[in-house]
């Protein structure tokens, strides 16, 4: 790799967004954060929405700064985001309304409605995706039942990251990895599932063509080039789903590894060559999502640090402003195994008073309520670690292959206590890093699209060369095994 190229990554999360400038040269990646902004739901009438105008304005500010800070030509811009959410364009190519937030309560009860229209097992067979009421399929079903007039006006449905790209280049498409989160795609074929649309009564004609990760989809619009003071730049479909980028940037070398993308959500799984859709994956509620370079991400969506984030927000409302570092220190000093919760309990999905909800679940399950903040933080982290073990064991049962190493990437690795607990609970070595896996994957998939990188293996080698990784060896395994056996027996 002789040449040096620069790329811009727009990485949109459900809490914040950032724009990164990446430089790829000599088998190394340099990353520079040039702009960060807050993101989150807004109340619009009685619903939770995304303020897309504000979001796109922030994205433009970040891109303008990145172009200014680049020393020379920018070879591409790639956008990634969370999954399932989308915008509806009218026939004039404009948004019909503010996109809904996946935590809006309009999908309450929609899984049951869907099962009345199509057998649950048949839905899984047609999609291969885990059942979550936030999935695009149930958001659209809710719209068909409650707001059919809006759906009738729709010309195109575009998922969030691709919606930003559409505003940058004018081309509508559905990048494969992001589209795969919708439960509207047949993961055996990588195309829209006709059966799902017909049985749920949804309009398949509004779905755009599927684009593969690592392809150039258009050029930056002329008016934006003038605004930014630049020449036309390629807009590149990376892994538009942030987890697809994060998994692309797993610094794996050996075989027999699993990944955990740790943040608001914990996404844990393995990389496989073909979708695995059978009785076991159905019973374990595993999902098959699109990966880069013809891979499938066989994974489980787990509620992640959302629980701690929501507790912290509530404690702040109550007058206690504790940092995550404070909470981690307090959790480390708290009593081990004072309680256990299922992080994926339905009552934890919506924003609100999370400490009260956790205590309600503890009471329901004949456990003591917790008033100490450090103790509650510890219960959350231990419960997450135990969930990781359950998922690891399920993966081994499905694939009939042992997991020897757990790679954890993403912002959640800043919580070193959780990384250590994950090693303890699973009994496996944890390799943590990089924090910036999503941005790294985004940039390096752009380099793949331009021909600067030739393979996924080479991409991962660059990640290993570019970031410091930390290892966690299992500790107190016998004690953790005993506690896991105790909670599993209830």
Rounded CA gap, 164 and 81, in Å?
A: 10
User: Is pLDDT at 167 greater than 90 in this prediction?
Assistant: yes
Rounded CA gap, 318 and 312, in Å?
A: 10
* Residue 241 DSSP code: B
Q: Span 429-444, mean pLDDT?
A: 97
User: Is pLDDT at 349 greater than 90 in this prediction?
Assistant: no
DSSP-derived 3-state class of residue 334: coil
Tokens 């695009």, residue located: 136
Confidence grade of residue 1 (pLDDT, cut at 50, 70, 90): low
In the chain the domains, ranked by start, together with CATH numbers, are 5-237 (3.30.420.40), 250-433+454-490 (3.30.420.40)
Tokens 């996404």, residue located: 267
110-116: list long-range contacts, CB under 8 Å, 24+ apart. 110/138, 110/139, 110/141, 110/142, 111/138, 113/141, 113/145, 114/138, 114/141, 114/200
Confidence grade of residue 320 (pLDDT, cut at 50, 70, 90): confident
Rounded CA gap, 104 and 41, in Å?
A: 9
Q: Span 29-48, mean pLDDT?
A: 95
Q: Which helix (H) or strand (E) holds 125?
A: helix 120-127
Cis peptide bond N-terminal to 434, omega within 30: yes
Catalytic residue (choose from 80, 85, 234, 242): 242
Rounded CA gap, 213 and 449, in Å?
A: 8
User: Is pLDDT at 363 greater than 80 in this prediction?
Assistant: yes
pLDDT of 70: 96
pLDDT of 166: 98
DSSP-derived 3-state class of residue 165: helix
pLDDT of 364: 96
Token pair for residue 483? 């506690």
pLDDT of 15: 86
Rounded CA gap, 442 and 246, in Å?
A: 8
Find, among 33, 30, 34, 28, the residue nearest to 411 by Cα. Answer: 33
Rounded CA gap, 375 and 380, in Å?
A: 9
Specify whether 242 is catalytic.
Answer: yes
Q: Span 270-278, mean pLDDT?
A: 97
Q: For 120-159, write each residue's pLDDT tens digit.
A: 999 999 999 999 999 999 999 999 999 999 999 999 999 9
Q: For 448-481, write each residue's pLDDT tens digit.
A: 999 999 999 999 999 999 999 999 999 999 999 9
Token pair for residue 449? 């699209």
Looking only at the bridges linking them, the beta strands covering 405-409 and 257-262 are parallel
Find, among 229, 235, 277, the residue nearest to 67 by Cα. Answer: 229
């Amino acid at each position: 790799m002789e040449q040096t190229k620069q790329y811009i990554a727009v990485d949109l999360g459900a809490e914040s967004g950032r724009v990164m400038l990446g430089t790829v040269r000599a088998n190394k990646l340099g990353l520079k954060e040039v702009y960060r902004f807050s993101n989150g739901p807004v109340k619009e009438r009685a619903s939770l929405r995304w303020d897309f105008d504000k979001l796109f304005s922030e994205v433009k500010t970040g891109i303008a700064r990145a172009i200014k800070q680049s020393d020379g030509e920018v070879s591409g811009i790639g956008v990634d985001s969370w999954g399932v959410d989308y915008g509806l364009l009218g026939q004039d190519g404009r948004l019909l309304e503010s996109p809904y937030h996946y935590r809006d309560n309009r999908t309450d009860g929609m899984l049951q409605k869907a099962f009345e229209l199509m057998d649950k097992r048949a839905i899984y067979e047609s999609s291969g995706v885990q059942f979550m009421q936030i999935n695009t399929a149930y958001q659209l079903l809710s719209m068909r039942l409650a707001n059919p007039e809006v759906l009738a006006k729709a010309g195109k449905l575009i998922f969030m990251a691709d919606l930003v790209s559409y505003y940058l280049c004018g081309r509508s498409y559905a990048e494969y990895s992001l589209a795969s989160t919708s439960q509207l795609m047949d993961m055996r074929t990588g195309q829209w599932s006709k059966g799902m649309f017909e049985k749920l009564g949804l309009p398949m004609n509004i779905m755009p063509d599927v684009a593969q990760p690592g392809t150039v989809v258009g050029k930056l619009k002329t008016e934006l080039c003038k605004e930014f003071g630049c020449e036309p730049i390629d807009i590149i479909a990376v892994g538009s789903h942030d987890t697809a980028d994060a998994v692309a940037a797993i610094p794996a070398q050996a075989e027999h590894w699993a990944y955990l993308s740790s943040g608001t959500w914990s996404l844990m799984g393995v990389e496989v060559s073909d979708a695995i859709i059978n009785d076991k994956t159905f019973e374990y509620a595993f999902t098959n999502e699109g990966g880069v370079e013809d891979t499938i991400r066989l994974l489980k969506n787990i509620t992640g640090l959302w629980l701690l984030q929501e507790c912290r927000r509530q404690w702040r409302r109550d007058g206690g402003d504790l940092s995550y570092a404070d909470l981690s220190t307090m959790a480390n000093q708290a009593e081990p195994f004072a309680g256990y919760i299922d992080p994926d309990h339905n009552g934890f999905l919506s924003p609100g008073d999370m400490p009260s909800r956790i205590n309600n679940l503890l009471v329901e399950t004949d456990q003591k309520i917790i008033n100490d903040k450090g103790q509650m933080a510890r219960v959350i982290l231990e419960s997450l670690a135990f969930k990781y073990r359950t998922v690891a064991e399920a993966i081994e049962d499905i694939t009939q292959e042992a997991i020897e190493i757990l790679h954890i990437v993403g912002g959640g690795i800043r919580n070193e206590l959780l990384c250590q607990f994950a090693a303890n609970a699973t009994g496996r070595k944890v390799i943590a890093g990089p924090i910036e896996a999503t941005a790294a994957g985004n940039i390096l998939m752009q380099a793949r699209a331009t021909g600067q990188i030739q393979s996924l293996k080479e991409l991962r080698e660059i990640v290993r060369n570019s970031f410091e990784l930390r290892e966690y060896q299992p500790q107190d395994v016998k004690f953790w095994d005993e506690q896991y056996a105790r909670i599993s027996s209830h």
